[in-house]
Amino acid sequence: MMPPNANTQLERLSEYLADPAAMFRHARWLLSDFNSPIWEINIDTKANQFIDWDVMLEDGSTLLTPKNAGLIAGLRTYLVAVTRNSTDMSIETNSNKFQRVEFDRACHIIDHLLLNSHYYELGKYGLEALNKDHLISILKRTCDFGDPEGFFEWQPSVGKLAQELMSVTPPESIDQVLRDTPGIEDVTFEQEDENLLGIAPRDLPRARAALFVHGYMHKVGTVWKPNHLLLSGKLYKNTLVLKTRHRGPIDALCFGGKPSKVMREYPAVAWSTRDDELPAYERLASYQRTIYKLGVLHEAALPAPPILGLRETLLYEHKLAKGGRHRSLPSAVALGAMRKSIEFHLQHGKHLVDSFCLLALHSVRTGKPPAHFKNDALAKIIRKETTQLGVDRAAAQIPTTRPSLEEYHSRFREHPSLIELLRVYIGSVQIVVGALMARRVGELKDLKTLGCLDSSELWLMFLNRKSTKGLRGLRQLKARPIDPLAAQMIKNLIRMQKILKRIGYIDSIHTLFATPCSRGSKNFSNSTKEIFTKNLDIFCDFFEMPLNAQGQRYYIRQHQLRRFFAMLFFHTNSFGGLETLQWMLAHTDKSHVWHYITESLDGVALMGAKAQFVAEQIQHGDNKSYQNLEKLLQDRYGTADFALVDADELEDEITELLKDGSVTIEPVFFNDENGEQMRVIVKVIGDDNE
C-alpha cells in the first residue's frame, strides 16, 4: 500500500529528473521567486534581509544581463545547495543556525569572486573558468585570515580609501577640521597597537579629518566613528551581501567623547600574529566543504568549475597556510610578575576586598555611586591599610589626552583609586591562576564564581575549550588539581561577590573575574576577553613591568602564561613530571602535551617553549650543554657571543631549526639517589655527539 503523499513525492521526483536544477530553486528561507532580481530571505534573523542581484562585472555587464544567465543561475543554485543536507541534497538541514553559517560562508566565496571579477573574468568565462589554482588560492586566504574582516581586508581597504581622500582633499580643509574638532588629534597607544589601516600613527588625525570632510564619519553618542555602512557600500559596491553588512570596529579612527577605560602607559611588545582560539585547519575544513559544494552545479547541469579542480581542494593541506607566531614572554618577566602577584595578594588582597565591600554597602545605603566618595569621606569607610596605600578616591580619573595620560600613570601609582587597586588585585589573581593552571583565556574568563572550586577546594572546575567533538557543540566539564595558593586567591574573589550579592550591590553572582566599573558607577561586569586583558594591562602598568629596547612594555597575555607553564616544566620537576603536566593541560596523549597550544605540526607552543628555554640558556652563558648547537648558530650570526644577539631573533632561529628537523630538543628522564631527574638534551641531526 502506497503512503498518502506518494503521488506528490513521485510528481516532484519526476520534476527533478526532467530538470535537475529544479531541486535547488526553492528553500524555506527564500521568500521570493528564485528568478527575482531582488531576493527576500530570512535565515535565523529577526528581520527579513534582501539580496540585490544587479551587480556589475568586469566587462560592464551585470549579473542580470541575459548573457550571464548561466552564471547567475549557478550562483543562486549554489546558495540554495549549501543549506541542504549533505547526505541527501533533496532535503534541508533541520538547523536554522547551521544553514546561516553555511549560507554566510558561501556568500563570502561569491562576494570574493564578484569583488575580483576582473581577475577571474567572470563576465567573460563564468564559473567554468575557476581552475584548481583559483580555488586553492581562496582556501589559502581563508587560512591566512580568520574572519570576514581579514578575508576582505576591511581595515587595509578603509586605510587605502582614507589615503586616497587625503591626497585629493585640499590641505586647508583638513587643517580646518583638525582645528575645529575636539579630540581628533588624540591617538592612544592602544590605537597605535591596533592600527591595521596601513597608515602611520602620526597620520591618523589627517586620515580621520579626510574621512570627516567626505562624510564617512558619524557621531555615536559623544564619539566620532567611521560610518561602516557607507564605507562598505563604497568599498564593496559590486558584491551581494558585503556591501550591506556592518563590519568590525576600527578603533584607530575613533575619537572624541570621554574614554570609558584606562589606557596603557606604553606601546605594547607585539604578542601575537594569529588567533589562538580558532586554528587554521578548522577554518580550512569548513571552507573546503563549502567550496566543494560548487560541484552540485554539475548535477544541476549548470556551468561549474571542473570536477578535478574541486577534488583537488579537498587534498589541500593547512600547513601551506601562513602560520604566524606568538612572541615569548621572557622568563624573568613572567617570574617577576608571579612574585609581585603573590606578594600583592598576601599583603593587600584581604583588605582591598574588605574595603570595596564596605564602600559598596555605603553606596547601597546612600544611593550614591562609588565615584561620589573621595578623600575624608572615603577614608571613614574603607580599611586603614587601604588608605595607607595612598587611596584618596573610589574611582579612576580617566585621562583624555596623551600629556594627561602621562600624568595619570604617575598619580595612579602614587595615589591609586580603590577600584583601580582592586583591578590590579584581580589581575594578580589572573596571572597566578593563568600560569599555574595553563588554561586558555576563554576557559578562565568563563569560570563560574560558584562552582569553579570543588568542595575540597583542591580542584578547579572549568569548561574545556576545543573539546566539543562528538558532543553536539557542548563543552566538557573538566577538573584539574589547583595549587593551594591559587585556590586561596580565588576564594577571596568568591568571598567578595557573595558579600556584594548579600548586601544588594549586585543582583546575581557574576563570573569569577568580573570587574567593577573604573569610572565608579555601580556597574559590575562579567569578565569578557577585553576586561580580562585590561586587568592584566592595569597590573603591568602599576608594577611597571620591564620595557624592551624599543621602549615597549611587556603587557602579559594568557597564551604567554600557557607557554610559561611549559617553561616551568623545563626549569623544574616541581609539578611532578610529565604525567602531572599532561593531566593539568587536559590532554589525552603525550604528543598533545608536546604541542599543547596549537596542537598541530606547525604549532609554536611547546616548540616555542623549547626554543625559548635553550635560547635563554645560551644567552646566559650555558656553553657546556649546547656546544654543538652553538657551532651551528655561529655560522648564522658570525659570532660566538650570543648575548649580543636579539633574544627573539635567536629564539626564532632555533624554532626554524626545530621545524626543519635540523635540531631536536627533548627532555630525558632518569633516576638517581635523589629520585627522578630530568635533563634537556639538544641534538644536532647529523652529529654523533649530543
Q: Which amino acid is at 179?
A: R
Instruction: Give percent above pLDDT 70 in the chain.
Output: 77
Asked if residues 394 and 378 have their Cβ atoms less than 8 Å apart, the reply is yes
Predicted confidence at residue 602, as pLDDT, reads 35
**How many angstroms separate the Cα of 375 from the Cα of each of 172, 393, 395, 419, 424?**
48, 6, 12, 14, 21
Predicted confidence at residue 260, as pLDDT, reads 56
Predicted confidence at residue 467, as pLDDT, reads 44
- Phi, psi of 75, deg, nearest 5: -65, -40
Mean pLDDT calculated for residue range 202-212: 96
Residue 288: which residues within 8 A CB-CB, separation 6 or more?
139, 313, 314, 316
Can you name the residues that pair with 30 across neighbouring β-strands? 41
Predicted confidence at residue 574, as pLDDT, reads 40
Mean pLDDT calculated for residue range 490-501: 96
Predicted confidence at residue 558, as pLDDT, reads 87
Asked if residues 344 and 424 have their Cβ atoms less than 8 Å apart, the reply is yes
Of the candidate ranges 238-252, 299-313, 645-659, the one whose mean pLDDT is the lowest: 645-659
Mean pLDDT calculated for residue range 569-575: 51
Predicted confidence at residue 417, as pLDDT, reads 94
Q: Where are the domains of the chain?
A: 19-146+279-320, 154-253, 331-456+477-542, 594-684
Predicted confidence at residue 247, as pLDDT, reads 82
Instruction: Specify the pTM.
Output: 0.66
**How many angstroms separate the Cα of 631 from the Cα of each of 396, 421, 615, 637, 639?**
54, 49, 14, 10, 10
First to last CA, the chain: 79
Tens digits of residue pLDDT in 339-354: 999 999 999 999 999 9
DSSP 166-229: HHHS-HHHHHHHHHHSTTTT---HHHHHT--SS--GGGHHHHHHHHHHTT-EEEETTEEEE-HH
Select the highest-mean-pLDDT range: 8-12, 216-220, 280-284. 216-220
Indicate left, alpha or beta for 466 from its phi (over 0: left) and psi (-120 to 50: alpha). left
Asked if residues 148 and 109 have their Cβ atoms less than 8 Å apart, the reply is no
Predicted confidence at residue 658, as pLDDT, reads 81
Predicted confidence at residue 589, as pLDDT, reads 41
The pLDDT-based confidence of 166 (bands split at 50, 70, 90) is: very high
- Phi, psi of 218, deg, nearest 5: -140, 160
Predicted confidence at residue 634, as pLDDT, reads 73
Other C-beta atoms lying within 10 Å of the C-beta of residue 42: 14
Q: In 360-516, at which residue ranges do the beta strands (DSSP E only) sit?
A: 459-463, 477-481, 515-516
Given a cut of 70, is residue 288 above it in pLDDT? yes
Asked if residues 210 and 162 have their Cβ atoms less than 8 Å apart, the reply is yes
Other C-beta atoms lying within 10 Å of the C-beta of residue 588: 8
- Phi, psi of 393, deg, nearest 5: -155, 160
If one compares 625 and 475, the residue with the highest pLDDT of the two is 625
Given a cut of 70, is residue 465 above it in pLDDT? no
3 state SS of 611: helix
Q: How far apart are CA 22 and CA 28, in angstroms?
A: 15
Given a cut of 90, is residue 666 above it in pLDDT? no
**How many angstroms separate the Cα of 395 from the Cα of each of 175, 346, 422?**
37, 23, 10
Cell of 265: 602607559
Predicted confidence at residue 599, as pLDDT, reads 38
Q: How far apart are CA 176 and CA 209, in angstroms?
A: 9
Asked if residues 245 and 230 have their Cβ atoms less than 8 Å apart, the reply is no
**How many angstroms separate the Cα of 389 from the Cα of each of 156, 375, 393, 526, 530?**
46, 13, 12, 27, 27
Of the candidate ranges 171-180, 592-601, 637-646, 675-684, the one whose mean pLDDT is the lowest: 592-601
3 state SS of 516: strand
The pLDDT-based confidence of 621 (bands split at 50, 70, 90) is: low
Predicted confidence at residue 643, as pLDDT, reads 62
The HSE-up count of residue 304 (CA atoms within 13 Å, CB side) is 22
Given a cut of 70, is residue 34 above it in pLDDT? yes
The pLDDT-based confidence of 476 (bands split at 50, 70, 90) is: low
Mean pLDDT calculated for residue range 364-369: 94
Q: Where do the H-state alpha helices sit in 19-131? A: 69-81, 96-115, 117-120, 122-125
Q: Which amino acid is at 135?
A: L
Average pLDDT for the chain? 81
> Following CA atoms 142, 148, 153, 159 in sequence, which dihedral angle do they give, to the nearest 10 degrees?
-160
**Long-range contacts from 149-154, C-beta under 8 angstroms, 24+ separation:** 149/247, 149/248, 151/108, 151/112, 152/108, 152/111, 152/112, 152/115, 152/236, 152/242, 154/247, 154/248, 154/250
The pLDDT-based confidence of 618 (bands split at 50, 70, 90) is: confident
Given a cut of 90, is residue 675 above it in pLDDT? no
Q: How far apart are CA 581 and CA 79, in angstroms?
A: 47
Given a cut of 50, is residue 322 above it in pLDDT? no
Which position has the grid cell 580555488? 135
Tens digits of residue pLDDT in 55-87: 999 999 999 999 999 999 999 999 999 998 776
Predicted confidence at residue 636, as pLDDT, reads 66
The pLDDT-based confidence of 678 (bands split at 50, 70, 90) is: low
Predicted confidence at residue 471, as pLDDT, reads 37
Q: How far apart are CA 263 and CA 188, in angstroms?
A: 7
Of the candidate ranges 54-58, 462-466, 551-555, the one whose mean pLDDT is the lowest: 462-466
Asked if residues 566 and 281 have their Cβ atoms less than 8 Å apart, the reply is no
Given a cut of 90, is residue 537 above it in pLDDT? yes
Predicted confidence at residue 3, as pLDDT, reads 52
Q: How far apart are CA 223 and CA 225, in angstroms?
A: 6
Predicted confidence at residue 571, as pLDDT, reads 56
**Residue 600 burial (CB < 10 Å; 0-12/13-18/19+)?**
middle
The pLDDT-based confidence of 93 (bands split at 50, 70, 90) is: low
The pLDDT-based confidence of 682 (bands split at 50, 70, 90) is: confident
